[in-house]
Structure 1
């Protein structure tokens, strides 16, 4: 595998088989050498069978979509604290939307987590977090239809918390109402109804 990866870095026009199968050739060739190295690094998985790098395999086709692959790389980069690269890859994932609200939802969720994690370090991180929470909420109905059930959708809780911290209680209440309408929960005992009660109490103070 090492020889395969070395070969890929040795040629400006050589792309990994998986990248070609995902129709990401032009995107890959536009990356800097450092970014390509990071892409390979964050495409590595460690399991019971040992280390496996998806870009080192010989493949001609895959059921995975470009969006799913890039979202996975972004998630791995976040777990390894490579936040700037993670942002670039996740934003790229949205440029290769595969028509699945589920894929887009999980890409949004990963971006939301990234921006919230960086809220004290990155300028506009909270604004970006709000933007992607709103976008995720906008596709919530479509996501639920695809998913077949109503799971927890973290963007509702995250956005309600942000609005509450900003003192925008009316906006936070509206998000709670939207969450209740779709039927999702925030993982707390009182759910979004309890969150609404607490918000109303703050508004009366």
Structure 2
């Protein structure tokens, strides 16, 4: 029987004011986050985190809410990952942070075969590309995910003209899709495919 007097969480959850989100998590999801938090790779400016630091004691987190939620999503199972990423977006205050959360949501949707959600997340990022490309984190970046992901997705769906258009837009930003021919080669291949379909 659940007590109506359940103790409120402390630790990082209280420090980041994530009590409402925490209350939506199952016990197994909480345990999974604790496992990730207690993993040695978690970097801190002090002593490493322990599992109980999530919801007990007075431990704080060195980053902001977005960073914590996004960090905990890495390596989580797909259901928990989606919850953490969707929550993280609520706490973004710039396009770069939103880009990382949306990128991961789009890739998760693509892996699960939910192409509608993948396209939706990728399209949200496109208007942010100019800001993202100018950010020092992406300075010199040759590949930003939405172009490549959408080009592949549209080609799979037989939407060849849409795939060509998105590849041409990628060229405006001097991006590369990681293939030998780059977006130029992709466009040529798509045009040949479109001509065969006529």
1:102 aligns with 2:96: yes
Of 123, 128, 145 in structure 2, the residue corresponding to residue 134 of structure 1 is 123
Q: How does 1:25-174 map to 2 (within 5 A)?
A: 25-47=19-41, 52-53=49-50, 56=53, 58-60=58-60, 62=62, 64-77=63-76, 82-97=77-92, 99-119=93-113, 125-147=114-136, 149-151=139-141, 152-174=143-165
Which residue of structure 1 lines up, in the alignment, with residue 194 of structure 2? 203
Could you tell me how far 1:52 is from its partner in structure 2? 4.6
Unmatched segments (≥5 aa) in structure 1: 1-10, 120-124
Of 165, 171, 174 in structure 2, the residue corresponding to residue 183 of structure 1 is 174
Stretch moving more, 180-189 or 33-42: 33-42
Count residues with an aligned counterpart.
Answer: 183
Could you tell me how far 1:34 is from its partner in structure 2? 3.4
Q: Distance in 2 between matches of 1:165 and 1:34?
A: 36
Check whether the contact 1:43–1:54 (CA below 8 A) recurs between aligned residues: yes
In structure 2, do the counterparts of structure 1 residues 48 and 30 end up closer, same or farther at CA, with 3 Å as the change threshold? Answer: closer
Which residue of structure 2 lines up, in the alignment, with residue 7 of structure 1? none
RMSD over aligned CA atoms reads 2.4
Could you tell me how far 1:59 is from its partner in structure 2? 3.0
In structure 2, do the counterparts of structure 1 residues 146 and 47 end up closer, same or farther at CA, with 3 Å as the change threshold? Answer: closer
TM, length-normalised to structure 2: 0.81
Q: Secondary structure at the match of 1:46?
A: coil
Unmatched segments (≥5 aa) in structure 2: none
In structure 2, do the counterparts of structure 1 residues 22 and 54 end up closer, same or farther at CA, with 3 Å as the change threshold? Answer: farther
Q: Secondary structure at the match of 2:33?
A: helix
Could you tell me how far 1:202 is from its partner in structure 2? 0.4
Q: Distance in 2 between matches of 1:48 and 1:169?
A: 43
Q: Distance in 1 between matches of 2:67 and 2:101?
A: 8
Q: Distance in 2 between matches of 1:169 and 1:67?
A: 36
